[in-house]
Amino acid sequence: MRVLITGATGFVGRAVCEAVVREGHSVLGMARGSRSQALETPDAGMDWFRGSVLSPDDLRRALQGCDAVIHLVGIIGEIGDQTFERVHQEGTLRVVEAALSSGVRRMIHMSALGTRPAAVSRYHQTKWAAEEAVRGSGLDWTVFRPSVIYGPGDGFVNLFARMSRWSPVLPVIGRGTALLQPVSVDGVARAFARALDSKAAVRQTYDLCGPDRLTLPQVLQAILRATRRRRMIVCIPRALAWYPTAVLEQLFPRILRRPAPLSRDQILMLEEDNVGNPEAAEREFQIRSVPFADGIGAFLH
């Protein structure tokens, strides 16, 4: 197949592009202008397209000659007009519309574990609205809901690993009792790539998560063991973090032109369990579940 992949230069996007090429397909990676400056050199099995999922014209041009689209675009922090509603809802709707008008039937969509009707966070609310647009499209869709994704270059495990180099304390917002089920980026990428040829995956939704259900303090302890460091893990009450976080949400976009490192929406999500059942995806796409400690041990030193 010829596969358009949106969000191709992101952490997950790069891994998915490589996995799709390994499965024998060719890839057209799509990224916005500022993200695609480094994509001037060709890659084996890949071409690049500079454009936005919010532009119907860009999408129609990108989809010419394609057989499938993998839609990965998403944000965890907002800045300017890059809001959850605009990126998740409107962006997904534009991809669906362009696929229909271009005659591209196969669509594989990146959602998120915890997405559901009446979710507490706007992130999950807009991810649910995006899922609904995909499910109602009439396309041959597959939806994946990953938990927290880790791997070389991620913004989660590596963030805390870097912090532990200089900080004597690793903070946890809230009680630290909510469960996470971190999943390897390699497993996520293989699931997306193998779903392209799977008839059984059409009109199905799959959880993508690892075998370990861990609290955030347990995740941090595993990171410290992998990096051979000793640091205090301190829980910060939500009430103490809420208003300083609101200030950061205003200051970072205005002064540093980037999203704040923590948002109130993320605090809400950290108070909820983020777990699922990986068995269906592991069985259908023949992916091996990797224990969290083993997975991070492969790239943390």
Residues 6+ apart with CB under 8 A from 176: 215, 216, 217, 233, 235
267 assigned to some structural domain: no
Task: Find the domain containing 77 and state its range.
Answer: 2-149+184-209+275-289
CATH number at residue 136: 3.40.50.720
Whether residue 301 has pLDDT greater than 80: no
Show the CA angle centred on residue 17, arms to residues 27 and 253, nearest 5°.
Answer: 115
C-beta of residue 287 within 8 angstroms of C-beta of residue 190: yes
Confidence of residue 4 (pLDDT cuts 50, 70, 90): very high
pTM exceeds 0.85 for this model: yes
Q: Is residue 157 part of a domain?
A: no
Tokens of 191: 């699931």
Residue 41 has pLDDT above 60, yes or no: no
Residue 131 has pLDDT above 80, yes or no: yes
Average pLDDT, the chain: 94
For residue 285, give the 3-state DSSP assignment: helix
Q: Is residue 130 part of a domain?
A: yes
Among 177, 157, 173, 168, which residue's Cα sits nearest to residue 232? 168
Query: What's the pLDDT score for residue 92?
Result: 98
Long-range CB pairs of 274-277, under 8 A, 24+ apart, other chains included: 274/113, 274/114, 274/147, 274/148, 274/178, 274/179, 274/180, 274/181, 275/113, 275/147, 275/179, 275/180, 275/181, 275/209, 275/213, 276/113, 276/145, 276/147, 276/181, 276/207, 276/208, 276/209, 277/207, 277/209
Residues 174-205 have pLDDT tens digits of 999 999 999 999 999 999 999 999 999 999 99
Q: How far apart are CA 184 and CA 295, in angstroms?
A: 7
Residue 258 lies in a domain: no
State the DSSP code for 2: E
Residue 100 vs residues 59, 62, 137: alpha-carbon distances, Å: 11, 13, 8
User: For residue 268, what pLDDT is reported?
Assistant: 94
User: Is position 129 within any domain?
Assistant: yes
Residue 14: inside a domain, yes or no?
yes
| Spacing of C-alpha 161 from chain mean position | 20
Mean pLDDT of the 243-253 span? 93
Output the CA angle 10-258-166, nearest 5 degrees.
Answer: 85
Rounded to an integer, the average pLDDT of 119-133 is 97
Q: The tokens of 174 are what?
A: 């809230």
Residue 203 lies in a domain: yes
d(CA 33, CA 50): 6
Nearest to 273 by CA among 141, 134, 174: 174
Q: What is the pLDDT of residue 227?
A: 96
Q: Give tens-digit pLDDT for 259-283.
A: 998 999 999 999 999 999 999 999 9
- Min mean pLDDT across 10-14, 31-35, 100-104 is at 31-35
Q: Using 50, 70 and 90 to split pLDDT, how confident is the model at 32?
A: confident
Percent of the chain whose predicted confidence (pLDDT) is above 90: 91
How confident is the model over 121-133, as a mean pLDDT? 97
Please compute the mean of the pLDDT values over residues 221-225 and round it to a whole number.
98
Q: Quick one: pLDDT at residue 42?
A: 56
- 176 domain residue, yes or no: no
Task: Please answer whether residues 5 and 30 qualify as being in contact, where contact means their C-beta atoms are separated by less than 8 angstroms.
Answer: yes
Domain count, the chain: 1
Does 121 have pLDDT greater than 70? Answer: yes
C-beta separation of 95 from 6 below 8 A: yes
CB 180 within 8 A of CB 216: yes
User: Is the confidence at residue 148, as pLDDT, over 90?
Assistant: yes
* Residue-level pLDDT at 45: 78
What is the mean pLDDT of the segment spanning 66-76? 97
Give the CA angle between residues 121, 133, 126 to the nearest 5°: 15
